[in-house]
């Protein structure tokens, strides 16, 4: 049973929560063949265009690119299903440590493709699409990889929501994030509001959503949405992002992945559940190769 199948509350009980960590391969690496999901997958296939590209590098850092430049990297239907496939691929990438999510051609993502949105504007299809993207983005955030959204140009609507499905956000100095949903007569539906509240607090989330406020790098840093700013024109932003991320991904993959798991459990589970999970994760690294090597080297932390 997958963690978040339709109609099932997330993290229903401790056993389920622990299964999340230890059975990821079995529970996550395949599509959930729920009939409603199959139906929306088929419908999404009717709206082609663009791609979600994934490059897994030997460094243990993967780069995922939202690629639909003719539409400012808006998500077509097929891109939504491709995103799910790429997340599946990353769930089984045991050597992975980090992930960069970015947009093609110097801009992040302008949300869902408005042509597809118009065609499936009935509430039933809207709900199914929203559930599909919520689940995929939840799985993206829960990957045992340290993830960062590299925001160049604009991140609008669903694009702004996508940034919140990463652990960190970097912006170039001329970039902008905007939850434009209110202007579209909507609220976030891809899990962006729930995640935003956890990142910036409810006061700031209310300002960003109710005011559709534009977030530039300074404001983003001030409210804690943005972790760092890359100056435009000073080198290659992707290389700069890899360098920034490598401060957290340096070292052994099992340890980095374990760090992400304990932080994630602290963020999502009750204290008791998180403590139990922490013990289990600790057991996976205690006496492991990295631990034994550090002990043999008599490492000092000066």
Ligand X SMILES: CCCC(=O)SCCNC(=O)CCNC(=O)[C@H](O)C(C)(C)COP(=O)(O)OP(=O)(O)OC[C@H]1O[C@@H](n2cnc3c(N)ncnc32)[C@H](O)[C@@H]1OP(=O)(O)O
Strands (E), 152-226: 154-156, 168-172, 176-178, 214-215
Would the CA dihedral through 199, 201, 202, 208 be positive or negative?
A: negative
| Chosen residue from 154, 169, 257, 261 binding ligand X by CB under 6 A | 154
72 contacts ligand X (rule: CB under 6 A)? yes
Closest to 113 measured CA to CA, from 209, 40, 46:
46
Q: Rank residues 155 and 230 by Cβ distance to ligand X and give the closer one.
A: 155
Residue pair 146/167 in contact by the 8 Å Cβ criterion: yes
| Total number of residues that touch ligand X (CB under 6 A) | 19
User: Of 1-9, 69-77, 168-176, 286-294, which part binds ligand X (CB under 6 A)?
Assistant: 69-77
Residues 260-272 as b/e (b if ≥16 CB within 10 A, e otherwise) read bbbebbeebbeee
User: Of 55-63, 179-187, 199-207, 215-223, which part binds ligand X (CB under 6 A)?
Assistant: 179-187
Q: Rank residues 63 and 120 by Cβ distance to ligand X and give the closer one.
A: 120
Q: Rank residues 150 and 245 by Cβ distance to ligand X and give the closer one.
A: 150
45 contacts ligand X (rule: CB under 6 A)? no
Closest to 62 measured CA to CA, from 159, 143, 173:
143
Angle between helices 271-285 and 253-268 (to 10 degrees): 170
292 Cβ neighbours under 8 A, 6+ residues apart = none
Q: Rank residues 196 and 259 by Cβ distance to ligand X and give the closer one.
A: 196
226 Cβ neighbours under 8 A, 6+ residues apart = 151, 169, 170, 171, 177, 215, 217, 220
Q: How far is the CB of 136 from ligand X (least distance, A)?
A: 13
DSSP letters for 7-51:
T--TT-SHHHHHHHHHSHHHHHSS----HHHHHHHHHHTTS---E
| Chosen residue from 60, 103, 144, 158 binding ligand X by CB under 6 A | 158
User: Of 18-26, 83-91, 185-193, 289-297, which part binds ligand X (CB under 6 A)?
Assistant: 185-193
| Chosen residue from 180, 194, 206, 290 binding ligand X by CB under 6 A | 180
* Binding-site string for ligand X from residue 89 to residue 128, where x marks contact by CB under 6 A and - marks none: ---------------------xxxxxx-------------
Q: Rank residues 161 and 167 by Cβ distance to ligand X and give the closer one.
A: 161
Instruction: Name 176's bridge partners.
Output: 154
237 contacts ligand X (rule: CB under 6 A)? no
Distance, in Å, from the CA atom of 167 to the CA atom of 148, rounded to the nearest integer, reads: 6
Q: How far is the CB of 115 from ligand X (least distance, A)?
A: 6
Q: Which residue is closest to ligand X by CB?
A: 111
| Chosen residue from 3, 17, 74, 176 binding ligand X by CB under 6 A | 74
Proportion of the chain in helix, strand, coil states, percent, rounded to 5: 50, 15, 35
Distance, in Å, from the CA atom of 18 to the CA atom of 12, rounded to the nearest integer, reads: 11
Q: How far is CA 22 from CA 90, 166, 191, in A?
A: 16, 21, 24
196 contacts ligand X (rule: CB under 6 A)? no
Hey, which residues between 204 and 233 contact ligand X (CB under 6 A)? none
Q: Rank residues 96 and 189 by Cβ distance to ligand X and give the closer one.
A: 189
Q: How far is the CB of 121 from ligand X (least distance, A)?
A: 11
Q: Provide the binding-site residues for ligand X, judged by CB under 6 A.
A: 71-72, 74, 110-115, 154, 156-158, 180-181, 184, 186, 189-190
């Amino acid at each position: 049973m997958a963690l978040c199948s339709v109609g099932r509350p997330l993290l229903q009980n401790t056993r389920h929560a622990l299964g999340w960590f230890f059975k990821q391969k079995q529970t996550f690496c395949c599509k959930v063949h729920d009939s409603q999901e199959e139906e929306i997958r088929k419908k999404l296939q009717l709206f082609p265009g663009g791609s979600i590209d994934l490059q897994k590098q030997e460094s243990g850092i993967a780069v995922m690119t939202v690629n639909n430049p003719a539409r400012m990297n808006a998500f077509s239907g097929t891109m939504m299903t491709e995103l799910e496939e790429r997340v599946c691929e990353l769930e089984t990438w045991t050597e992975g440590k980090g992930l960069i999510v970015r947009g093609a051609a110097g801009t992040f993502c302008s949300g869902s493709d408005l042509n597809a949105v118009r065609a499936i504007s009935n509430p039933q299809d809207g709900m199914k699409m929203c559930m599909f993207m919520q689940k995929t983005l939840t799985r993206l955030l829960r990957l045992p990889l340290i993830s960062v959204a590299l925001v160049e140009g604009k991140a609008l609507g669903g694009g702004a929501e996508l940034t919140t499905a990463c652990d960190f956000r970097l912006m170039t100095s001329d970039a902008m994030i905007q939850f434009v949903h209110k202007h579209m007569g909507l609220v976030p539906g891809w899990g962006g509001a729930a995640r935003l509240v956890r990142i910036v607090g409810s006061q700031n989330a209310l300002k960003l959503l109710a005011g559709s406020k534009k977030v530039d790098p300074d404001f983003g840093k001030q409210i804690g949405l943005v972790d760092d700013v890359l100056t435009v024109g000073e080198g290659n932003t992707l290389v700069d992002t890899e360098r920034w991320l490598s401060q957290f991904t340096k070292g052994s993959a099992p340890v980095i992945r374990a760090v992400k798991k304990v932080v994630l459990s602290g963020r999502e589970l009750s204290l008791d559940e998180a403590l139990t999970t922490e013990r289990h994760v600790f057991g996976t690294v205690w006496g492991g190769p990295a631990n034994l090597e550090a002990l043999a080297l008599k490492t000092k932390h000066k």
